[in-house]
Chains A and B, each alone.
Chain A
């Protein structure tokens, strides 16, 4: 049930996202035709291009054109270079996906076991140490952590190339820098979730039945404790995108994050509009997938 309801909710949300993205370009000061042609163009040339770009049409017509275009993967052409924005996005997407997946994978691999460790050693020094590390991980800016990593492992020890480079080795530092914040969040949530679940009646029942501790921990505690962690997965995608925006310029990676920063600097509105619409849509769909998988994991939610 919830799956269908969430799918139906997707339509108005994506519609709203497209409307906002369209409005974004419209409320921005400056005449796009003038930006394309430069300051030397005559008013007649600007007027001609305005007509050609359809900027004189009623807003509703322009929005309809924008929406149908976007649905067909046509995000218009960039001011810089007059290249289809969709192609520009696709060219940079792999680099961002690579970084995001590496960061997400690493943060799960570190964060969840750390949270389990802290929960099983609760209120003794191991727990305290893990939690203190976690709050440090949440507080350190990933772009500063990246610089520290570069200073230590790139410039002092020379274990990894600082920028550029090929393949997996060049991914290590950015992925670690990106993973530190989400890993800390996962660790904290996993720990508090486990501590909450072990107080549940069904855990006491399992223990009273005489099940062995391994079965209780894995099947009863962990499976239930990880449900909120899965929801967080969707939200962490936003944090990872955040990281991509800040980190891609530190490591000179040609990804979407750096692309939008450059586009804003150059006031290339078709590019900005395209990236925002694309990334927001992906985010909405990913969160939907997380919600659906969450419902599949937990029958209590499925039948609500």
Chain B
């Protein structure tokens, strides 16, 4: 269900934009990113965990975290399901498997150090980095404290120092990155008494997990949690119980976080490139329409005026013609009258008539 959804990345309505968005995702999908060769990881064999909380104590010590209210050998803490928090980068939870008489199952929870971290993808100041050694580390010196990383993390790991007024940090497991650089084991792995935690190159740990599955038929489910989840993680889990019953989500899919956002990010430059073209075009068309409308109006006014003028001219002309005709008629009438009087009148009068 969710895979097909993620494959579908063309989110803009316009056909060209869909094509552009899809091509971007394709470009990213076409290039396969294998991650850093030989990067380190931890294999957590849940079937070996006895819930002693020594890993929690080890983590607390090496990271110099504040002492919890109840000491680490107090196992009553396990009665309540816990999550990671500002003072605890890792917690162990107890789960009761279905069926009577089954022994409880213990699962350690901490940052899974994704190969393609959602927190890093979501962070707008690059506070998170996937190191070549495998750890996802956090830089408090640039963090603004927007907490989008906590929203984005599918494993619900990052915590926040809500009680700090001016310098709160996001906190999470560092895979003991400074210790790794020194060639030491992560604090939790070192503290584990049952080898439920194994530290080593990720490729080798996956091989080791498969070997264990083969060596102990029936002990494990055929699923290495973290091999593909959200693009793969640097913590890998083996279990005899369905992961879903152990508070680990199996519906996360295999698409890394970056692929979920690449469609929307790919549309950003398309909007910048095409919106000004479209909007200026619409503006120019409305301008042109207005100009034509104004022009047509002016023309209509001129035409109307010309027509009125022409009509007036015609009227004037006919009036003049009429007047001229009337004039001529009057003249003729007068001439006729004069001639008639001239016939009856003496010669002298006729001379006067001629002069006029």
A binds B: no
